Chains A and B, each alone.
Chain A
Amino acid sequence: MLASRDTIPGVSESACIPSSASAVPATTATSRHSAIVRVTHWITTLCFLALLVSGVEILISHPRFYWGETGNVLTPTLFKLPIPSSRALVPTGYGYVLPDQNGWSRYLHFQSAWVVVLTGLLYVISSFFTGHLRKNLLPSGADLSWRAFSTAIANHLRFQRPSAAEAWSYNLLQRLSYLFVIFVLFPLVIWTGLAMSPAFVSAVPATVTLLGGQQSARTLHFFVSLALLLFVLVHVVMVCLAGFRSRMRAMITGRPGKNMERI
């Protein structure tokens, strides 16, 4: 992998760009992350934070979960969160009611959902055409062996610092977890979200019936969101362990920086 990448900066890019680009040292001529990856990454980050905060606000107006079509304070729960609610209707055991912030939270939640879905579509469609999906996300044949997989896991468990090569490409576990987030968690969180829309399910009832009902969809939406939150937390920890400054610089400017060999 490293060998093929070594040929890129010298030959394919800077050779055909005559003017200013050739003045830049060969090692920094290739972006670690393409502009589209960087832009969609940060829009997604903003949207995720907005969805998380507004999602929590919406959730505390009824921190009870059910399975099936319906659920309310008169029906048994699947589980309850031991937190106070923002509505007096909900018996929480707490002697007070939190301020109701549902109005702007719902507006923000659905607007962020639109932006992140459109951004995600742009990312996925462009990944097919630019080769990002094939080159950077799909594991290579050799990487898919059980041995490569167990080595990667063992290295992670030992908190081993990534090799210099990993500043330039995703490792196996990264690839698999990114693919899981993009093609499993994201579609699931959109699906379970749409299944709660009374108007959308009037047009496409299978959206909710396949999930076992509207309250089941709400419960599943909560768990898929938790899985996404877990991914984000692990992702940020990994960025810190791998070298926060260089990884951040790579995702902002596209270049990992001069001292990347050290980290």
Chain B
Amino acid sequence: MSDISRRKLITTGLAAAAGVTGLGVAAHMAQKYGLVPPDHAGIFGFGETLTYASQRMLTRHSLAREFPRSQISKPPLANEMPPLKDEFKRLQAGGFADWRLSVNGMVAQPASFSLDQLKSYPSRSQITMLQCEEGWSYIAEWIGVPLSHVLELVGVLPQARYVFYFSIDPYWWESIDMADALHPQTFLAYGMNGDELPVGNGGPLRLRLPRQLGYKSVKFITHLTVTDSLKGFGKGLGSASTEAGYAWYAGI
């Protein structure tokens, strides 16, 4: 073996060792700082982890773009969805007076809220874009109570890492990390464009998450669970969309 190839071999070996160690350290740090999404396994886990980790570092506190009132889409789009069950129709017939939002899990005081209770808290509004993964979009004014306010009322325990939210439609449930759950633009929205939130747009209560695609903004919210682990919820992938083959983190 000549000098040059030996030197090359040693350099390559050192570089490889440094690379493997670096990757190990990176993986450990990523796990520690919550930079690993639940769909990190499998053939697309590499790209998904890079996206989630880099955007968590870049966008932890950034605000979704807000628009002037003149840019609100007219007429507002209400996309098609499967017909709702009798339970929903019964609540709708009663003007949603019996609609409840229950909160449990890693909280000091599990609680259940009526719509009137939620509306009694300081309301906020945002004019933001709803962007569907299919490619279409619209801008609307969303009125509601920040999710962080409700989480504060029930007293989230310090070890909490995710918030699950469930629709009355049993096939639609999602979860977000605490960075998104406590983000000032994450709303439990009950109003739209100065009025009640129409059923077609998710009324009476919808989660609004303007920094992620529309499928994370679940309609007809009835239940929240605060947790430190995704295990025990379906297949442990964090959401119904992920089980259907879509990314858990939809900030793109």
Residues of A that sit less than 8 Å from B by CB: 17-19, 58-59, 61-62, 64, 69-75, 87-90, 102-104, 106-108, 110-115, 196-203, 205, 208, 214-215, 218
A111 & B251 in contact (Cβ 8 Å cutoff): no
Instruction: Tell me the bound Cα distance from A108 to B213 in angstroms.
Output: 17
Among A75, A108, A110, A202, contact of B73 (Cβ-Cβ < 8 Å) = A75
Closest residue of chain B to A218 (Cβ to Cβ) is: B135
Closest residue of chain B to A113 (Cβ to Cβ) is: B47
A106 & B246 in contact (Cβ 8 Å cutoff): yes
B55 & A108 in contact (Cβ 8 Å cutoff): no
Which of chain B's residues 232-248 have a Cβ closer than 8 Å to chain A? 244-247
Q: In the assembled complex, how far is the CB of residue A32 from the closest CB belonging to chain B, in whole angstroms? A: 22
Closest residue of chain A to B139 (Cβ to Cβ) is: A70
Instruction: Tell me the bound Cα distance from A9 to B244 in angstroms.
Output: 57
Residues of B that sit less than 8 Å from A by CB: 2, 4, 44, 46-48, 50-51, 55, 58-59, 62-65, 67, 71, 73, 75, 77, 79-80, 129, 131-139, 210-213, 244-247, 251-252
Among A58, A112, A203, contact of B58 (Cβ-Cβ < 8 Å) = A203
Given contacts A17-B4, A69-B139, A107-B44, contact A196 B134 (CB under 8 A): no
Secondary structure at the A interface, as helix, strand, loop or mixed, is helix
Instruction: Tell me the bound Cα distance from A89 to B200 in angstroms.
Output: 14
Q: Which of A111, A202, A208 has the most CB of B within 10 A?
A: A202
A106 & B136 in contact (Cβ 8 Å cutoff): no
B59 & A202 in contact (Cβ 8 Å cutoff): yes
Closest residue of chain B to A109 (Cβ to Cβ) is: B47
Please list the 3 inter-chain residue pairs (A to B) with the smallest Cβ-Cβ separation, ordered nearest first. Answer: A111-B47, A199-B251, A103-B245
B47 & A72 in contact (Cβ 8 Å cutoff): no
Among B210, B245, B252, contact of A197 (Cβ-Cβ < 8 Å) = B252
B129 & A69 in contact (Cβ 8 Å cutoff): yes
By a CB distance below 8 angstroms, the chain A residues around B2 are 18-19
A110 & B48 in contact (Cβ 8 Å cutoff): yes
Among A102, A203, A214, contact of B133 (Cβ-Cβ < 8 Å) = A102
A106 & B247 in contact (Cβ 8 Å cutoff): yes
Among B55, B67, B132, B135, contact of A199 (Cβ-Cβ < 8 Å) = B55
B44 & A199 in contact (Cβ 8 Å cutoff): no
Among A19, A73, A214, contact of B77 (Cβ-Cβ < 8 Å) = A73
By a CB distance below 8 angstroms, the chain A residues around B134 are 61-62, 87, 89-90, 102
Beyond the given pairs A115-B47, A200-B252, A202-B62, 7 more chain A to chain B contacts, judged by CB atoms under 8 angstroms and listed by A's residue number, are A59-B135, A62-B132, A71-B136, A72-B138, A89-B79, A90-B134, A110-B47
A-B contact pairs, 22 of them (CB 8 A): A17-B4, A62-B136, A69-B71, A69-B129, A69-B137, A74-B77, A88-B80, A89-B79, A103-B246, A106-B247, A111-B47, A114-B47, A197-B251, A197-B252, A198-B213, A199-B212, A200-B59, A200-B251, A202-B64, A214-B129, A214-B137, A215-B137
By a CB distance below 8 angstroms, the chain B residues around A87 are 134
A-B pair count, CB < 8 Å, reads 120
Given contacts A69-B67, A202-B64, contact A107 B133 (CB under 8 A): no
By a CB distance below 8 angstroms, the chain B residues around A115 are 47
Instruction: Tell me the bound Cα distance from A19 to B44 in angstroms.
Output: 44
B244 & A61 in contact (Cβ 8 Å cutoff): no
Q: In the assembled complex, how far is the CB of residue A89 from the closest CB belonging to chain B, in whole angstroms? A: 5
B138 & A202 in contact (Cβ 8 Å cutoff): no
Given contacts A69-B137, A87-B134, A214-B129, contact A202 B211 (CB under 8 A): yes
Closest residue of chain A to B52 (Cβ to Cβ) is: A199
By a CB distance below 8 angstroms, the chain B residues around A90 are 134
Instruction: Tell me the bound Cα distance from A59 to B47 in angstroms.
Output: 20
A202 & B65 in contact (Cβ 8 Å cutoff): yes
B44 & A104 in contact (Cβ 8 Å cutoff): yes
Among B50, B64, B77, B138, contact of A198 (Cβ-Cβ < 8 Å) = B64
By a CB distance below 8 angstroms, the chain B residues around A89 are 79-80, 134
B244 & A103 in contact (Cβ 8 Å cutoff): yes
Given contacts A103-B244, A106-B247, A111-B46, contact A199 B136 (CB under 8 A): no
Instruction: Tell me the bound Cα distance from A197 to B44 in angstroms.
Output: 18
Among A104, A114, A198, contact of B129 (Cβ-Cβ < 8 Å) = A198
By a CB distance below 8 angstroms, the chain B residues around A71 are 136-137
By a CB distance below 8 angstroms, the chain B residues around A104 are 44, 245
